[in-house]
Structure 1
Amino acid sequence: MRVAHISDCFVPRLGGIEMQVNDLTRRQQEAGLSPEVLTATPLPRRMRGRSFPVPIHRSGLPIPAEIANNPIPSRPIRRRLRAGGYDLVHVHAGVGSPFAAAGVRVALELGLPVAVTVHCLPAGFRLPDVLTPWATPEVARRIALSAVSEAAARPLRERTGVDVAVVPNGLDPQDWAIEPVAHEPGVVEVVSTMRLSVRKRPLPMLAMVLAAQRRLAAAGSPVTLRLTVFGDGKLMPRMRRYVRRHGMADTVRLAGRVDRAELTEIYRRADIFLAPAHLESFGIAALEARCAGLPVVAMRATGITEFVADRREGLLADGDPGMTAALVELATDEPLRSGIAAHNRATAPPTAWTTVLDTVDREYRRAMTIRGATR
């Protein structure tokens, strides 16, 4: 089967959609499918000439910061879909994805089966239908529509009135299985991995940690709470200023990007994973940390709740004060922290790639059935 994956964002840009599409296409190739990627993310000049295992067709403008952008996306998509001999089109959608939206329209126009996976929670305001055609009843009836979590699927069902499947992000838990090492006495290491954008809330996270540190100091606790943030983005300069302004340089480290191998080693020495975002449709970074055994502190109304139950795999909160309280509780209650960590290391969530690939295959069959019924 030849599958065209259409996504505004793709590697080398880093993020949940980018890494999931990259991993999914590689796994499909290993399983005998012939996936290709159509994306608006350009390849940086420094990486020109680099080869990728899966064919990638890039039609984004070469602008800074690896930003996905093409003002007339339908033309390159139509040209590629006509020439590619594809059996099916799998579109990966974010909050508002012009390239993905064009992919849906062109693929339906060409009579191809279409599966759409929505990777984000809806925006706080309604976007134009042209940017989210999969969220309209007229288009939703013609595609196999899915989302990465129940939290993301529920609003789509309410808006479209169609069946919306859940196709979770794939991850093999054994890839993140670690044996922890001895920690520095009296220090609780908190880690967070994210793109440093407003949506991920890295600045409010610093405020949560600062409030937790002050609460611990006021109570005379012997515990030192330290935070390391992995990732990069446009908010890095503001985060550095915040750390300096509030005297957090000794307890907060902004480490930038690291690869997966480095993260597993880092998680061996960590105690808690912090996920501050409200609009987290899935939370692949939190899932990776949970598979490594770290208790996860996260917001309650997010996709993270599908693999983190309160006081079982971590602590869940309804807002920033609750997140601060959860940090203080885990920092000072070592039996609770170690009990959650032992549970997380011993139990695996249902996100292994074999299961996810089977779910994706079912969506592909559903897309073909829908295409046959609507022709």
Structure 2
Amino acid sequence: MRVAIAAPVDLPRLARLLDRSAEQTTPAGLGGPGTATLVAELVSRGHDVTLVTLSREIGRPVHRRIGTVDVLIGPYRPRHRARDVFRQERDVVRTLLDSVDIDVVHAHWTYEFALGALAGRHPTLVTVRDWAPAILRHQPDAYRMVRLSMQYRCLAKARHLTAVSPYIADRLRRWCRGTTTVVPNGLPTAAFRHEPPRVQQPVRRLLSVNSAFSKGKNTATLLRAFPAIRDQLGDVELTLIGSGHGPGGRAERWARSHGLADGVVFAGFMSAEQVLAVMDTADVFVAPTLEESFGMTVLEAMARGLPVVAGRSSGAVPWLLDLGRAGELVDVRRPKPISQGVLRLARNADLRAQLSQQALARARLFAWPNVVPAYEAQYEQVAQSASALRVPPGRTV
């Protein structure tokens, strides 16, 4: 099938997956968890894939070829996008999609990519990957208000939707007619450990990966919990990965101002491959996030067989962790339950081994080869629905 993916993508990562010779000449793209590996999986299954994406590094649309994938890249303004509700970005997505002959568009998120696709000429499947009201609640500002309005507009226009988790699907039922199919995010098979990790050694290395130092990501509460963990376990180390968590970044400045930086490694942003490598050196993964539409970093930790401590009310995370059968669920709103959850695992090697095995088994359900067939069924359905609506030659309506 001829499929166009309209989404933010880590383009250098896509090049590493499909054509390393293109990595040095490809703009950075906008990131986007899982979209590069989804494109690679679709290619491996024989689909003719076109990618429409955006980048801050260009001033006008460009065309690249990465492996067998045609990549159409439009400009993404570094500032003032929200002033016109991302009109320029929406327009370039629509124009690029209208320039290609495809069977279906698969647009990700409910903002400029989905709105641009829905304004174009091709049948479109929209995957809802976050929930704007929840984001606004944790980050109340004008920018998130604009994003909220974009999501509502998208949901009013879209006729074919998937959600990445039951958590998102439940919220969509309040706003959308008809049913929403849950198709979760996926991981490539290369992201999974081939052997169970060793969990009998003492817990000495904790790891947390968060995309920002913010109220919703809740790293501050983890930092408040860490001294109690050190008091009990001694020479234990907490590594923080992600934007805002690097040397001199917001997380470190906050931690030092509160006397909470001892034993903490502020590693900052890393590539997806680097994150997986660090996970293999960790003993316990801690996800302090207050609300997640899915929880990609949690899934990646599960795929490496790491015992996980995460929030029992953190959106889709309890579902991802099989309601506690594949991870330790605690109240992450307060430091004490986080420290208690980590200490419970640290003191019980058998529990760590059990959760490690359960996490790895659960994560395998989300491997792309198990997920993509559900998307392929949606593509067929969307394309057939569009074909049924077309008027045959010689007929009028």
Is this a same-fold pair by TM over 0.5? yes
Q: How far is 1:174 from its partner?
A: 5.4
Other structure's SS at 2:289 match: coil
Q: How far is 1:287 from its partner?
A: 0.7
- CA-atom RMSD in angstroms: 3.3
Q: How does 1:217-366 map to 2 (within 5 A)?
A: 217=231, 221-233=232-244, 237-301=249-313, 302-321=315-334, 322-345=337-360, 348-366=363-381
Cα deviation 1:272-316 (Å, max 9, x = unaligned): 111122231111111111111111122224222233134421111
| Whole-angstrom distance in 2 between the partners of 1:146 and 1:323 | 33
Q: How does 1:190-201 map to 2 (within 5 A)?
A: 190-198=206-214, 201=217
After the TM superposition, which of the residue ranges 120-129 and 322-331 deviates more from structure 2? 120-129
Structure number with greater CO (CA < 8 Å, separation at least 6) is 1
| Whole-angstrom distance in 2 between the partners of 1:80 and 1:44 | 15
| Whole-angstrom distance in 1 between the partners of 2:361 and 2:112 | 42
| Whole-angstrom distance in 2 between the partners of 1:174 and 1:83 | 34
Q: How far is 1:239 from its partner?
A: 0.9
Cα deviation 1:78-125 (Å, max 9, x = unaligned): 43233211211111015xx23422321x13xx2x22111011134236
Q: How does 1:40-189 map to 2 (within 5 A)?
A: 40-43=54-57, 52-53=66-67, 54-61=69-76, 63=78, 70-94=86-110, 97-104=111-118, 106-107=119-120, 110=121, 112-124=122-134, 129-136=149-156, 139-140=157-158, 143-173=159-189, 175-177=191-193, 179=195, 187-189=203-205
Look up the match of 1:31.
45
Q: Which amino acid aligns with 1:352?
A: A
Cα deviation 1:122-152 (Å, max 9, x = unaligned): 423686654433422xx24xx3210111111
Q: 1:151 to 1:34 in 2, by over 3 A?
A: same
Q: 1:101 to 1:318 in 2, by over 3 A?
A: farther
Q: Is 2:231 the partner of 1:211?
A: no
Ranges in structure 1 where 5+ consecutive residues have no aligned partner? none
Q: 1:364 to 1:281 in 2, by over 3 A?
A: same
Q: How far is 1:26 from its partner?
A: 1.6
Look up the match of 1:4.
4
After the TM superposition, which of the residue ranges 318-327 and 148-157 deviates more from structure 2? 318-327
TM-score normalized by structure 2?
Answer: 0.77
Ranges in structure 2 where 5+ consecutive residues have no aligned partner? 12-27, 137-144, 391-397
| Whole-angstrom distance in 2 between the partners of 1:61 and 1:297 | 37
Number of residue pairs the alignment of both structures matches: 354
Other structure's SS at 1:55 match: strand
Other structure's SS at 1:198 match: coil
Q: How far is 1:8 from its partner?
A: 4.9
Q: How far is 1:205 from its partner?
A: 2.0
| Whole-angstrom distance in 2 between the partners of 1:334 and 1:276 | 22
1:8–1:100 Cα contact (<8 Å) kept: no
Q: How far is 1:349 from its partner?
A: 3.2
| Whole-angstrom distance in 2 between the partners of 1:91 and 1:181 | 36
2:5–2:51 Cα contact (<8 Å) kept: yes
Q: Which amino acid aligns with 2:373?
A: D
Q: How far is 1:74 from its partner?
A: 4.2
TM-score normalized by structure 1?
Answer: 0.81
| Whole-angstrom distance in 2 between the partners of 1:113 and 1:298 | 38
| Whole-angstrom distance in 1 between the partners of 2:175 and 2:77 | 36
Q: How far is 1:184 from its partner?
A: 11
Q: 1:242 to 1:212 in 2, by over 3 A?
A: same
| Whole-angstrom distance in 2 between the partners of 1:184 and 1:333 | 9
2:3–2:103 Cα contact (<8 Å) kept: yes
| Whole-angstrom distance in 1 between the partners of 2:362 and 2:354 | 12
| Whole-angstrom distance in 1 between the partners of 2:351 and 2:126 | 40
